[in-house]
Amino acid sequence: MNILAIETSCDDTSAAVIVNGEVQSNVIATQKVHEQYGGVVPEMASRAHIQNIVPVVAVALNNAQLSIEEVEAVAFTQSPGLIGSLLVGAGFAKAFAQARKLPLIAVHHMQAHVLAHFIAEPKPSFPFLCLTVSGGHTQLVLCKSHLDMELIGESIDDAAGEAYDKTAKMLGLPYPGGPLIDKYAAEGNPHRFAFPISSLPNYQFTFSGLKTSVLYFLQKQKKENPDFVAENLNDICASVQHTIIEILLLKLKKAAKDLGVQHIGIAGGVSANSGLRKAVLALGEKNGWQVYIPDFQYCTDNAAMIAITAHYKQLAGQYADLGTTPSARATWHHE
């Protein structure tokens, strides 16, 4: 089946085409307007999606050498995300499907991040444990099949990506700051400054304590030396990144051991972080895991991951109707 997939959960407008389970195109329009505000402005994101969605879909179809008439189903991100952004993608998908009397497939954004591992080889075997880390979510998901997933742990407050971005803001770095912290951390000493590694029962995460610790640390140091951040930027970034990664890997290691799972993956925007990728690969080698990390283009928000999820939902006959509404925050559930 030829499926057109739409992703508009936040500030990236993306469209992809998948044909018989093989992604043929994946086009992403990134919105630059938010940089001057230090974060995503929901109203501006919605307006940019409206401007971008038609040309992005046109390029995706063209790159896949597929005409509008050859599209056999339409998929879209239903949840979670910014409600205004989600409504643009859902409205477009519904209109497209209704106009051509095509089946509609609604996709959970976080489930799609996990299934990004199945876009290209090598693909994980089940059971598969995935650490999904993004700006809005930090989750541990046990995957029993493509559509049978169990959320076993998540952050009770800030997401790991949020901890990166808020730290970057405290350091005076431009938005988005996460990639910059990763860049500077590569040149720094991760053991120069110590920050608390918070621990909760089971597989839950917390990053609010780390954020507060960094804030107080910087306030104290800058009071003594106004140039402290500039003089120690690499070491600060390396130390904060080391702490975030330690918090993540502590729970990943525990879950893998408790559940006896050897196939491990990371997904979401923060899985593009070079420090995290190296740390997971090293931990995998130490523990005898098979580690899977998607290509960079499938880590951040993209429609290819929506497309591969739609492929498996189509095979299972899981379709949506025109009354399906987007949701900013949807509860994780078994399919």
Residues 215 and 285 in one domain: yes
Q: Is residue 253 part of a domain?
A: yes
Q: Does residue 167 lie in a domain region?
A: yes
CA quadruple 304, 305, 306, 310: dihedral sign: positive
Residue 45 has a pLDDT of 81
Of 83, 205, 211, residue with least CA distance to 153: 205
Residues 34 and 159 in one domain: no
Is 272 within the bounds of a domain?
yes
- At residue 334, the pLDDT reads 41
Look at residue 37 and tell me if it is in a domain: yes
Q: Is residue 329 in a domain? A: no
Are the C-beta atoms of 88 and 8 separated by less than 8 Å? Answer: yes
Q: For residue 203, is it within any domain? A: yes
Q: Are 243 and 150 part of one and the same domain?
A: yes
Owning domain of residue 310 = 2-113+301-315
> Do 89 and 6 form a contact (C-beta atoms < 8 A)?
yes
Claim to verify: residue 173 and residue 78 sit in the same structural domain: no
Alpha carbon 256 to its chain centroid, in Å, reads: 21
Q: Is 7 helix (H, G, I), strand (E, B) or coil?
A: strand
**pLDDT (average), residues 12-16:** 95
CATH number of residue 79's parent domain: 3.30.420.40
Average pLDDT over residues 294-319: 95
Residue 141 shares a structural domain with residue 249? yes
Q: Report which residue type is found at 31.
A: Q
Residue at 264 is within a domain: yes
Based on the fold, state whether residues 181 and 243 are members of the same structural domain.
yes
Which pLDDT band holds residue 103 (cuts at 50, 70, 90)? very high
Q: CA of 180: how far to CAs of 62, 158, 221, 304, in Å?
A: 34, 19, 21, 26
Does one domain contain both 43 and 134?
no
Q: Of the ranges 165-169, 292-296, 304-308, which is most confident?
A: 304-308
Nearest to 326 by CA among 74, 138, 93, 147: 93
The pLDDT of residue 20 is above 80:
yes
The average pLDDT across 228-248 equals 96
Contacts of 136 (CB under 8 A, 6+ apart): 10, 80, 159, 161, 162
Average of per-residue pLDDT across 43-66: 93
33 pLDDT above the threshold of 70: no
Residue 172's pLDDT is what? 93
- Tell me how many domains the chain contains: 2
Do 53 and 134 fall within a single domain? Answer: no
Q: Where are the beta strands (DSSP E) in 80-170?
A: 104-108, 128-133, 138-143, 149-154
Residues in the chain: 335
What is the tens place of the pLDDT at every residue in 167-189? Answer: 999 999 988 888 999 999 999 99
pTM comes to: 0.93
pLDDT reported for residue 275: 94
85, 153: one domain: no
**Residue 327 placed within a domain:** no
Same domain, 160 and 200: yes
Burial of 333 (0-12, 13-18, 19+ CB in 10 A): exposed
Which token pair is 147?
């559509």
Same domain for 79 and 153: no
Could you tell me which of 267, 257, 243 has the C-alpha nearest to residue 138?
Answer: 267
Question: In which element (H, E) is residue 27 found?
Answer: strand 22-30
38 shares its domain with 147: no
Residue 331: the pLDDT is 63
Spatial CA neighbour of 333 closest among 153, 203, 150: 150
pLDDT at 223 over 80: yes
